[in-house]
């Protein structure tokens, strides 16, 4: 009798659970173990397989930036935040970040005349125009953001 009492007292919590819960716990444990093992195997296989390079070729025909070569623009009177991929337009100056295909910065020189509204604008009639001065592999085309919910917006008024 003493032996039976000791054995009964040393029963594990697991063995006291109903059989259905024990089966569920065993299944969950097995599933987690298989999932972890499978993930580790897949990660190891991905590391071993060589992926093709996704680097975009950088144009080599570009010369080092020389600020003296930029057309004069009133917005550049006090300098620029950076000197990479700068394009001077009649209404503004823009620096493109080719990595994100967006502007890094835009400068506009404001005057009384430039702030005067000559006619009301309707965005529904606005047409997106691809910037031909940006190398082809970095251009943003109108269909890139079509129905994406992303509004391209403007950092400066849309004019030439």
Give the mean pLDDT of 134-158.
73
pLDDT above 70 as % of the chain = 64
Name the 3-class secondary structure at 25. Answer: helix
Average pLDDT, stretch 130-147?
80
Catalytic residue among 73, 87, 141, 154: 154
Please tell me the distance from the alpha carbon of residue 33 to that of residue 128, in angstroms, as a whole number: 53
Q: What is the pTM of this model?
A: 0.46
**Cα distances (Å, whole numbers) of residue 2 to 6, 13, 20:** 6, 21, 31
Q: Which three-class secondary structure state does DSSP give residue 56? A: coil
Q: Quote the CA–CA distance of 46 and 159 in Å, as a whole number.
A: 48
The pLDDT of residue 71:
66
Ranges of each domain in the chain: 17-51, 67-145
Q: Can 141 be counted among the known catalytic residues?
A: no
């Amino acid at each position: 009798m003493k032996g039976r009492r000791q054995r009964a007292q040393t029963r594990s919590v697991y063995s006291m659970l109903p059989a259905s819960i024990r089966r569920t716990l065993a299944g969950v444990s097995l599933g987690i173990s298989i999932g972890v093992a499978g993930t580790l195997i897949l990660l190891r296989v991905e590391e071993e397989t060589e992926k093709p390079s996704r680097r975009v070729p950088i144009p080599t025909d570009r010369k080092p930036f020389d600020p003296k070569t930029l057309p004069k623009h009133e917005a550049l009177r006090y300098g620029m935040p950076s000197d990479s991929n700068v394009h001077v337009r009649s209404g503004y100056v823009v620096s493109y970040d080719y990595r994100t295909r967006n502007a890094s910065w835009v400068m506009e020189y404001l005057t009384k005349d430039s702030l005067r509204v000559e006619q009301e604008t309707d965005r529904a009639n606005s047409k997106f125009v691809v910037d031909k001065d940006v190398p082809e592999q970095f251009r943003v085309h109108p269909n890139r953001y079509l129905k994406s919910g992303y509004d391209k917006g403007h950092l400066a008024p849309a004019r030439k």
